[in-house]
């Protein structure tokens, strides 16, 4: 006898890791809408609206704005493979996993890469970029991570953007963990290529990578001496489909476009400034609670969307993460690279950035730390977080 019950259902988790973030019901409902053909006029209209919404969230007028089929890493490859030709010189800033990944991808596409490095947990020093530009005046492109997911560092961009403009270098920016949660003023930075992913602050399932290219980048692509090495990520071919020509390139992930459109609508309805303020408030409340427990942050410039916290002495990082998951249905992330075993990465991104997330996590973590014998800190984490929220309510 058949049953209408699903054979398996995933557990419900409070997603507070480095991604994915919680997906709102509206977005899940959009994902479940009837699938259309990838050249159906109704679907093409949804693509056009999605492009308009992406431009709003990227704070740009760039015509060359689209969603690449793939995760944020596909967005990175799309930006680099279209702007780099074999033999080009590039500066790539490395202070974590994703700067290192950008360097490797640029090298794979034939660039001679001059790395500007900083200690993990530290922002890149613009003076180091300036010196490297002086040493390598033929630099065509500067790549930098705005929101380094592996360390929780937020990179100040104004001086970096000014250096790129002065030198005439193309500026490529990784905003995978900042778009929709932290200001990403693409046109103000005069950034030439900016990429992100759907599963972080946009609170959409993983599978698409919003990207945007400036007019200068579009001209650089048109004037290439060689074909783009990747056929699948060749923006000139992708825009023939995403633009007015509607030339078939590949079968787009139809339902994921529905989901991205709905997620972007939710961002615009909330308002970018209000959304940024919400992420900042919840970050400050979480930080106050963690510090009341005696815990410290690793980065000198912390993202409000991704909190990298030092694991206290005598506490097993993996034990805490496992018990949070199995006993409280809370997911947080482990440290990577030199931070392995030494850091917890706590995401407050998009739909996961809420007072409920902050207080639920602080209560669970505090209980587990006490059970494991941790006696650091001198305050109650929930009282400390509550004081931040109360202060905000009083001032607003």
Tens-place pLDDT, residues 105-148: 999 999 999 999 999 999 999 999 999 999 999 999 999 999 99
Question: What distances in angstroms separate CA 339 from CA 123, 313, 327, 344, 383, one per listed residue?
Answer: 16, 14, 25, 9, 29
DSSP E strand stretches across the chain: 14-15, 64-69, 89-94, 112-117, 139-145, 147-148, 153-154, 170-174, 193-195, 208-213, 306-310, 330-331, 333-334, 343-347
Question: What distances in angstroms separate CA 84 from CA 64, 79, 160, 335, one per listed residue?
Answer: 17, 9, 20, 31
Q: pTM of the entire structure?
A: 0.96
What was the pLDDT predicted at 395? 86
Tens-place pLDDT, residues 256-290: 999 999 999 999 999 999 999 999 999 999 999 99
pLDDT band, residue 9 (cuts 50/70/90): confident
Tokens (6 digits) for 135: 């040493």
pLDDT band, residue 1 (cuts 50/70/90): very low
User: Within a 10 A sphere around the Cβ of 379, how many other Cβ atoms?
Assistant: 14
Q: Where do the domains of the chain lie? A: 25-269, 272-395
User: Within a 10 A sphere around the Cβ of 233, how many other Cβ atoms?
Assistant: 23
**By the 8 A CB rule, do 124 and 116 touch?**
yes
What was the pLDDT predicted at 199? 98
Tens-place pLDDT, residues 68-89: 999 999 999 999 999 999 999 9
Alpha-carbon distance 328 to 342, whole Å?
22
Most distant CA pair in the chain: distance in Å? Answer: 75
What was the pLDDT predicted at 300? 82
Tokens (6 digits) for 13: 């988790």
Q: Cα–Cα–Cα angle for 84, 228, 62, nearest 5°?
A: 70
Tens-place pLDDT, residues 321-366: 999 999 999 999 999 999 999 999 999 999 999 999 999 999 999 9
Domain 25-269 has CATH 3.40.640.10: yes
Domain 272-395 has CATH 3.90.1150.10: yes
3-state secondary structure of 87: coil
Alpha-carbon distance 30 to 53, whole Å?
16
Q: What is the mean pLDDT of residues 246-255?
A: 95
Paired residues of 179 in beta bridges: 182
Question: What distances in angstroms separate CA 165 from CA 112, 162, 212, one per listed residue?
Answer: 20, 5, 18
User: Within a 10 A sphere around the Cβ of 274, how many other Cβ atoms?
Assistant: 10
pLDDT at 150 over 60: yes
Tens-place pLDDT, residues 184-207: 999 999 999 999 999 999 999 999
What was the pLDDT predicted at 3? 60
């Amino acid at each position: 006898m058949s049953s209408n019950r699903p054979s398996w259902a995933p557990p419900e988790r409070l997603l507070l890791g480095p991604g994915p973030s919680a997906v709102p019901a509206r977005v899940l409902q959009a994902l479940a809408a009837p699938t259309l053909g990838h050249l159906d006029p109704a679907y093409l209209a949804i693509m056009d609206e999605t492009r308009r919404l992406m431009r709003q969230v990227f704070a740009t007028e760039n015509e060359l704005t689209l969603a690449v089929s793939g995760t944020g890493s596909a967005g990175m490859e799309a930006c680099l493979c279209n702007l780099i030709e074999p033999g080009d010189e590039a500066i790539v800033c490395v202070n974590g996993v994703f700067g290192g990944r950008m360097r490797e991808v640029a090298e794979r596409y034939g660039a001679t890469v001059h790395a500007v490095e900083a200690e993990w947990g530290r922002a890149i020093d613009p003076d180091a970029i300036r010196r490297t530009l002086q040493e390598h005046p033929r630099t065509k492109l500067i790549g930098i991570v705005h929101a380094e997911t592996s360390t929780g560092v937020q990179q100040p961009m104004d001086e970096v953007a000014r250096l790129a403009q002065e030198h005439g270098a193309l500026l490529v920016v990784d905003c995978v963990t900042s778009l929709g949660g932290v200001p990403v003023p693409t046109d103000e930075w005069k950034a030439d290529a900016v990429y992100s992913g759907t599963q972080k602050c946009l609170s959409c399932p993983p599978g698409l990578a919003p990207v945007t290219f400036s007019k200068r980048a579009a001209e650089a692509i048109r004037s290439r001496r060689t074909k783009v090495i990747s056929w699948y990520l060749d923006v000139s071919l992708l825009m023939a489909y995403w633009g007015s020509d509607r030339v078939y390139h590949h079968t787009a992930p139809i339902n994921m476009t529905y989901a991205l459109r709905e997620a972007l609508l939710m961002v615009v309805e909330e308002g970018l400034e209000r959304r940024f303020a919400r992420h900042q408030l919840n970050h400050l409340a979480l930080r106050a609670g963690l510090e009341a427990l005696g815990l410290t942050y690793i980065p000198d410039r912390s993202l409000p969307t991704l909190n990298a916290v030092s694991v206290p002495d005598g506490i097993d990082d993996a034990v805490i993460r496992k018990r949070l998951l199995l006993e409280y249905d809370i997911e947080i992330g482990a440290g990577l690279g030199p931070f392995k075993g030494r850091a917890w990465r706590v995401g407050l991104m998009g739909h996961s950035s809420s007072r409920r997330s902050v207080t639920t996590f602080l209560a669970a973590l505090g209980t587990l730390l006490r059970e494991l014998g941790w006696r650091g800190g001198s305050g109650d984490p929930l009282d400390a977080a509550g004081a931040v929220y109360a202060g905000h309510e009083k001032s607003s």
